[in-house]
Structure 1
Amino acid sequence: MIVGLRPGLTARLEYVVPDERTVPHLLPEAELFADMPAVLATGYLVAIVEWTCMRAIDGHLQPGEQTLGTYVDLSHQAPTPPGRPLIVDAELTAVDGRQLTFTVVARDDAATVCRGTHRRAVIDAERFNARISARATG
């Protein structure tokens, strides 16, 4: 890891929610989602939070390193309909070896949508992919 990877790094992501990121589109094979309200799905919210955290540390990893999400503790406090902007703020609050902890808050123009904690682990991508390949071949 590059020395500059330290608490205090931040990122902001502004994201306009498209219709295909709403609950009815979450898992097309799961028909129970189809009749749900057309608001930002929690599953997509988690991905947007992860993206924001990745942006906070962009440029602070060695070549060949990546991060993977390992823990998510988020509230989903308010619905965001499609077409509305979502603003996500992430701050790297702790670095413990290869474990990175972020505090996140997401808001739209009406309410706080989400707040919580996300952790990511720094991995060596080549070594990780080799382990996954070995698992896949049994």
Structure 2
Amino acid sequence: MENIHSGLVAETSEIVTHALTAASHDSGLVAAYSTPAMVGLMETAAYQATQPHLPAGQTTVGVEIHIKHLAATPVGARVRARAEVTQVEGAMIHYKVEAWDAVDKIGEGTHVRFVVDAERFYKRFETKRAKMTLENQDNDHASG
């Protein structure tokens, strides 16, 4: 983790399509860039800021996000997100995240990611998924 430090930055962007609008995400009636899509783009920027600096076999998972969506962006516009590492506390990485379109800053906030061993994470995830599958089968039989 010594390669992860304050000041690491990444940016990413996407074109707003109908699939990225509030109307499409069922988070509003407006055909404008949705908050869920903006959060996803911010998380991608945060991931990209640190993943190249982690040892093989490690990755980060998002655990906390605080966001303000400041302005609407129409379909067809490009949105750019930027994430900067502001603090590292053990396996917790804190980021400042921001997003812009061609006219306005459209979002800002903070994000926290946790460094995990990818193989252990996926094993625990698969164990949980197997339990859920069994639970769903039990529920299907009970209702049939």
Q: What TM-score do you get using the length of structure 1 for normalisation?
A: 0.88
Q: d(CA) in 1 for partners of 2:5 and 2:113?
A: 14
- 2:91 aligned to 72, 91, 98, which one? 98
Q: Which has the higher helix share?
A: 2
* Partner residue, 2:77: 84
Report the CA distance shift for 1:34/1:116 in structure 2 as closer, same or farther (over 3 A): closer
* Partner residue, 1:57: 50
Report the CA distance shift for 1:131/1:40 in structure 2 as closer, same or farther (over 3 A): same
Q: d(CA) in 2 for partners of 1:126 and 1:55?
A: 19
Is the contact made by 2:13 and 2:41 (CA closer than 8 Å) also made in structure 1?
no
* Partner residue, 1:10: 9
* Partner residue, 1:109: 102
Report the CA distance shift for 1:13/1:136 in structure 2 as closer, same or farther (over 3 A): closer
Q: Is residue 135 of structure 2 the alignment partner of residue 131 of structure 1?
A: no
Superposition deviation, residue 107 in structure 1 = 1.2
* Partner residue, 1:25: 24
Structure 1: runs of 5 or more not aligned = 27-32
Mean alpha-carbon deviation: is it higher for 34-43 or for 80-89? 34-43
What letter corresponds to residue 13 of structure 1 in structure 2?
T
Superposition deviation, residue 136 in structure 1 = 2.8
Q: d(CA) in 2 for partners of 1:80 and 1:35?
A: 14
Report the CA distance shift for 1:35/1:78 in structure 2 as closer, same or farther (over 3 A): closer
CA distances 1:9-56 after superposition (whole Å, capped 9, x unpaired):
011223221221111221xxxxxx397111111111111000011111
Q: Is residue 28 of structure 2 the alignment partner of residue 44 of structure 1?
A: no
Is the contact made by 2:95 and 2:112 (CA closer than 8 Å) also made in structure 1?
yes
> Greater CA radius of gyration, 1 or 2?
2
Q: d(CA) in 1 for partners of 2:93 and 2:111?
A: 8
Report the CA distance shift for 1:61/1:17 in structure 2 as closer, same or farther (over 3 A): same
Q: What TM-score do you get using the length of structure 2 for normalisation?
A: 0.84
How many residues end up aligned between the 2 structures? 131
Report the CA distance shift for 1:34/1:127 in structure 2 as closer, same or farther (over 3 A): closer
Mean alpha-carbon deviation: is it higher for 44-53 or for 14-23? 14-23
Instruction: Kindly report the root-mean-square deviation, in angstroms, between the aligned alpha carbons of the 2 structures.
Output: 1.6
